[in-house]
Structure 1
Amino acid sequence: MEGPRSPRETELPQVLDFLNKKLRNEASWSIAAEYPTAFSSNNLHNMRIIADEGHVLSHAVLKPLIIKSPHVIYKVGAIGSVVTEDQHRGQGLSTQVMTDCLKSASEQSCDIAILWTDLFDFYRRMGFELAGSEISFVIEDNFDVPPVNLRFSTDSKVAPDAIYRLYSTHSVNSVRTIEETRKFLAIPQTKVYTAWEPNGQLAAYAIEGKGVDLGGYIHEWGGSVSKLMALFSFIRAQKNQPYTIICPRHAKNLINELRRKPVTVNEGYLGMIKLVNFDQLAAKIKRAFRAEGIADIVLEKHPNHFVFGIGQDLFTINNETDMVRLLFGPVDYRAMDLFKEETIQKLEKILPLAMWIWGWDSI
């Protein structure tokens, strides 16, 4: 048995075959088509396998992302496709490939790692915790919107640069290229809904589905609130059945409009997050506070605890997973009754950090 290690290029077909059988057994496409930027020869160095006599026994993949937000630009190591051959489970192989992915994330200067799973206890043992915020709106009934002079389409043949232009207007997004957008548009089971201005310019878009995942979920969208609302109304009429729109908490204007409609609202976590390079992330956060004129922010890691606060109004945090939620939410500093009101007002200028990873970037 050898590994964890990166697969050689000649082994990539074998690795994909293992993943297709374990994770996409009933799909008519390869997992590489579903995650085109993760399972490519360009990302071999971020894939981890354990093998025995040419057979893949366990696998995980890391996908580094640069996340831009209004105050902080940080690097996230998204981890996914963690799977071990049935007869080799319980031997710690998944833990080994995960640990090696986290080591690689640290070596590549990722600030945090994130993954999406329902195996909460398993990943908590590695230091992950549910954190970040996600708000979903279930559109169960038709809802009216003011008349708009737009043309709607369900044609998936959309120029990637038009999608990229609207995507780039988000205040929080992961850095992508137009070529990556082109690859994402070709993912199996992806439905593309668009709204067009009379002059032929793309006004809004919404993406549903991603391979075997996110069917019935609008996980990517772009455009002004009024035009998105019109597009969402069109989608409801087209589908003639309920669907769900996923939103980041900072999309306040869109959230307010959606709350006025006959929708079911669910609030949840973005994913499971782990601190990877705390000192590096803390330095970025401190710079953001200083840019707001707050020079006495305290965010320190000690051997057995963290110290967090402003000036002399400080709080000791003994658990790293608690620190994750304080930085990325969901958290209500007032409800916690830890800090003075003056301190809370200063903290809320930056924290919780605006954090969102759009569906196409998930792994």
Structure 2
Amino acid sequence: MEGPRSPSENELPSVLEFLNKKLRNEAPWSIAAEYPTAFSSNNLHNMRIIADEGHVLSHAVLKPLIVKSPHVIFKVGAIGSVVTDDQHRGQGLSTQVITDCLKLATEQSCDIAILWTDLFDFYRRMGFELAGNEISFVVEENFDVPPINLRFSTDSKVSPDAIYRLYASHSVNSVRTIDETRKFLSIPQTKVYTAWETNGQLAAYAIEGKGIDLGGYIHEWGGSVSKLMALFSFIRAQKNQPYTIICPRHAQNLIEQLQRKPVTMNQGFLGMIKFVNFDQLAAKIKRAFRAEGVADIVLEKHPQHFVFGVGQDLFTINNETDMVRLLFGPVDYRALGMFKDETVQKLEKVLPLNLWIWGWDSI
């Protein structure tokens, strides 16, 4: 048995065959078609396998992302496609490949790692915790919007440049290229809904589905709120059945508009998050506070605890996972009663951090 290690280019087909068998057995396409930027020769060095006599036994992949937000530019290590052969489970192989992905994330100066799973207890043992904010709206019924002169389409042949232009206008997004957007548009089971101005310019878009994942979920969207609402109304009438829109917490104008419609709102977590380089992240957060006029922010890591607060109003945090939830949410500082009101007002200038991973970037 050898590894964890990266596969060679010659081994990539057998790795994909293993993943297709274990994770995409019912799908007529390869997992590489769903995650074109993760399972490419350019990302081989971030794939981790354990193999025995040429047979892949366990796998995980890291996809580093640069996420821009108004306050902080994050480097995020997204981890996914974690699977071990049935006959070799219970031997710690998944733990080994994930640990090696975290080592890669450290070497590549990631601030945090994130993954999406329902095996919460398993990943908590490795230091991950449910954190961040995700708000979803189940659009139960058709709804009307004020008249707006737009043309709607379900044609998936859309210019990646036009999609990219609206995507790049988000206040929080992952750095992508137009070529990556083109690859994402070709992912199997992707439905593209668009709204067009009378002059032929793309006004809004919404993406549903991503291979076997996210069917019935709008996980990517862009455009002004009024035009998005018109597009969402069109989608509900077109589908003639409920569907779900996923939103970041900071999309307040869109959230307010959706709450006025016949929807069911649910609040959840962005994913499971773990610090990779706390000191590097803390330095970025302190700079963000200074830019907001808060020069006396305290955010320190000690051998057995963290110290957090403003000026002399400090609190000791004993668990790293609690610190993750304090920085990324969904902790409500006012409800905690930890700090004075004036301290809370200062903390809320930056925290919780606006972190969001759009659906196409998930792995």
Q: Pick the TM interval, shorter chain.
A: over 0.9
Aligned equivalents of 2:217, 2:179: Cα separation in 1:
24
Opposite residue 140 of structure 2, the aligned amino acid is E
For residues 162-201 of structure 1, what are the structure 2 equivalents within 5 Å?
162-201=162-201
SS at match of 1:273: strand
SS at match of 1:11: helix
Listed one character per residue, the Cα deviations across residues 206-228 of structure 1 (whole Å, up to 9, x for unaligned) are 00000000000000000000000
Opposite residue 155 of structure 1, the aligned amino acid is D
Aligned equivalents of 1:102, 1:31: Cα separation in 2:
22
Listed one character per residue, the Cα deviations across residues 110-148 of structure 1 (whole Å, up to 9, x for unaligned) are 000000000000000000000000000000100110011
Opposite residue 258 of structure 1, the aligned amino acid is L
Matched residue, 1:79: 79
Opposite residue 157 of structure 2, the aligned amino acid is K
Matched residue, 2:63: 63
Deviation at 1:253? Answer: 0.1
Matched residue, 1:14: 14
Listed one character per residue, the Cα deviations across residues 164-198 of structure 1 (whole Å, up to 9, x for unaligned) are 00000000000000000000000000000000000
1:362 corresponds to 2:354: no
Matched residue, 1:267: 267
For residues 99-178 of structure 1, what are the structure 2 equivalents within 5 Å?
99-178=99-178
Matched residue, 1:327: 327
Listed one character per residue, the Cα deviations across residues 5-44 of structure 1 (whole Å, up to 9, x for unaligned) are 0000000000000000000000000000000000000000
Deviation at 1:283? Answer: 0.2
Aligned equivalents of 2:292, 2:82: Cα separation in 1:
41
Matched residue, 1:32: 32
Runs of at least 5 residues in structure 1 that lack an aligned partner in the other structure = none
Aligned equivalents of 2:221, 2:83: Cα separation in 1:
31
SS at match of 1:314: strand
Deviation at 1:293? Answer: 1.3
Matched residue, 1:255: 255
Deviation at 1:294? Answer: 0.9
Aligned equivalents of 2:160, 2:262: Cα separation in 1:
33
SS at match of 2:113: strand
Matched residue, 1:245: 245
Deviation at 1:292? Answer: 1.1
Matched residue, 2:285: 285
Deviation at 1:261? Answer: 0.4
Runs of at least 5 residues in structure 2 that lack an aligned partner in the other structure = none
SS at match of 2:229: helix
- Aligned length in residues: 363
Aligned equivalents of 1:34, 1:117: Cα separation in 2:
17
Aligned equivalents of 2:150, 2:292: Cα separation in 1:
41
Matched residue, 1:211: 211
Deviation at 1:46? Answer: 0.2
Aligned equivalents of 1:201, 1:50: Cα separation in 2:
49
Aligned-pair identity (%): 89
CA RMSD of aligned residues (A): 0.3
Listed one character per residue, the Cα deviations across residues 44-72 of structure 1 (whole Å, up to 9, x for unaligned) are 00000000000000000000000000000
Aligned equivalents of 2:56, 2:146: Cα separation in 1:
56
Matched residue, 2:344: 344
SS at match of 1:280: helix
Structure 1 residue runs of 4 or more that deviate by more than 6 Å after TM superposition: none
Aligned equivalents of 1:107, 1:328: Cα separation in 2:
23
Deviation at 1:331? Answer: 1.1
Aligned equivalents of 1:38, 1:315: Cα separation in 2:
40
Aligned equivalents of 1:224, 1:309: Cα separation in 2:
37
Opposite residue 277 of structure 2, the aligned amino acid is N
Aligned equivalents of 1:333, 1:252: Cα separation in 2:
19
